[in-house]
Amino acid sequence: MLFKNKKLFSIIITSYNNEDKIQRAIDSILNQTVDSKYYEIIVVDDKSTDNTQNLVEQYYSKNIKLTILDQNSGGPSKPRNIGINEATGKYVYFLDADDYLAPDILKRISIDDQLLKSDMIIGRTIRENDNSLTVHARFMSNENRYNYNINEIPYIYNHFGPPSKFIKLDIIKKNNITFPENLHFGEDKLFFTKLSQFINKVSTITDDSSFIDRTTTNQSLTKSIDFYEKRDSDIHIINYLLNQETNDKILKILNRFLEYDLLKSCNSFVFLKSEKTLQLNYFKQIKEIFNHHLIKDKAINNISSEYIDVVKYINNNDFDGFIAFFTWLKKEPKIINKQPHQTLLTDLKNKYSIPFQQTNLLNLVEFKNEITMQLNIYGVEKESILNLSIMSRKNYKEDIIINDFEITDNIMTITIPKDKINAKEAGIYNCIIVYDGFKHLNIKYGYDKKVALKDKNAMFYPTINGNLSIKINK
């Protein structure tokens, strides 16, 4: 172990009226398999009015420090900033009081000398819903990487939330990085936007790191934030980026906000059903941003081809075309239009278009000990395809990953051993082609086919949307 002189981890728990969950969060740290001398727990309570404070005070561990704010701050930023000031560990971790750590994650990091050279360590986040456990932001932890340059990790800027991120405290303090206390939404985005400028070596691991609670009893603040409030915070961050010295990190982060936050968010019923005056005002804001010289000269070149038409509408100040495109994209029929060098999805009049990407099941053959699937792949480079993932709807630990396959003339052939399916618990599994690091492509399918297993039965079938799934029965 490289680090021996002081605390290795500072776990900052921010709480407000979390009497039902706070003990689970604290216990998930105290029950870690690493010696308690390697961590400290800093609980910052945002003036709870329930029994949260009393529950924390019942812990007599020397590793727990409780700070109570004089008045409620209205968000997580101020409590987290107080926690940063009090932290003394090498790595800081921000844990919401309704979330909890995976049992062995602190030991996993503490005994790995390569990980301890990192500026930031990212583990796997598990999303807990009422009836399922699934991997959240799967691309953040889809493989083990040691001390990569941050720009070498695909899509790392697509997720700016704190879960499963261990950050070197010295970097935060030395560069005076704080959570903005004037934003009601997007404080995580701005914090990690600023932090990324000083993060060089990043490690990612496939080990479970934390569980985030998204059950119906846990009401997240973000669920109540208005669409346009969210976009206002995104625009605030974009303006911050535009005022920084341009570098590769700035351009990559800008691309994330332009494409993922400003444009992709318009592909929603919330936006399309909102008042025209609000839509028009938002369109004007987007147009002003896209007219900035840095966006026009550099950032726009990295926008996905899916939004080429959208950018034209913005540059031509065509509000009606902008709305019509997203209306078509979200809810109107699409036609496959094969061209010499590319296949597109278009409308009937060929006015709008996006790249066509689809996988169709051509052949499903059952043998004694295995099942062979043959798929036709459209619009995806074969070099970017990673695997076939048979993903449980209930428990990520039951997922089946098939990495061995062949692709010839866009025909993908995959063999699935029957014993892999037979070993899984009964339930429903989605069949997904994973490509380009983390992207998912559903497999289109049209009929039922039963498969005999050793002591179970399985049936391949199409969902209501025509996507391939497997139902396993005892």
Residues 188-222 have pLDDT tens digits of 999 999 999 999 999 999 999 999 998 887 655 45
Q: What is the CA radius of gyration of the chain?
A: 24
Residue ranges of domains in the chain:
9-218, 227-340, 358-473
Q: Is the dihedral of CA 184, 189, 194, 199 positive or negative?
A: positive
Q: pLDDT confidence of 392, banded at 50, 70, 90? A: very high
Question: What are the strands, taking DSSP E only, across 195-246?
Answer: 201-213
- Please report how the helices 248-255 and 227-242 are oriented relative to each other, as an axis angle in degrees rounded to 10: 160
Which three-class secondary structure state does DSSP give residue 397? Answer: helix
Nearest to 159 by CA among 81, 212, 216: 212
CA 265 to chain centre: 15
Residue 50 near residue 19, CB atoms below 8 Å: yes
CATH topology of domain 358-473: Immunoglobulin-like (2.60.40)
- CA distance readout (Å), 241 to 163, 194, 197, 235, 251: 23, 9, 11, 10, 9
Cα–Cα distances in Å, from 44 out to 60, 132, 181, 219, 359? 16, 30, 15, 20, 49
CATH top class, domain 9-218: alpha beta
CA-CA distance, 300 to 290, in Å (whole number)?
Answer: 8
Give the pLDDT confidence score for residue 212 in this predicted structure: 95
Residues 305 and 353: their CA atoms lie apart, in Å, by: 10
Q: Provide the token pair at 244.
A: 């920084």
Higher pLDDT, 219 or 308: 308
Residue 4's pLDDT is 53
Helices (H), 87-131: 105-110
Q: How far is CA 26 from the centre of its chain?
A: 25
Average pLDDT, the chain: 93
* CA gap 263, 278 in Å, rounded: 15
Tokens encoding 429: 């599994």
Q: E strands of 137-180, at which residues?
A: 145-149, 165-168
State yes or no: pLDDT of 3 exceeds 50. no
pLDDT (0 to 100) of residue 6? 77
DSSP class per residue in 312-350: HHHHTT-HHHHHHHHHHHHHS--EEEE-SS-EEEE-TTS
Q: What span, in angstroms and rounded, lies between the C-alpha atoms of 140 and 154?
A: 8
Report which secondary-structure segment, H or E, holds 53.
helix 52-57
Residue 248's Cβ-count burial label (10 Å; 0-12, 13-18, 19+) is exposed
Residue 1 clears pLDDT 70, i.e. is over it: no
Average pLDDT over residues 164-191: 94
Using pLDDT thresholds of 50, 70 and 90, give the confidence band for residue 224: very low
Residues 6+ apart with CB under 8 A from 455: 422, 474
CA nearest neighbour of 262 among 243, 288, 244? 288
Q: How confident is the model at residue 5, as a pLDDT?
A: 54
Distance CA 376, CA 410 (A): 6
Residue 215 DSSP label: S
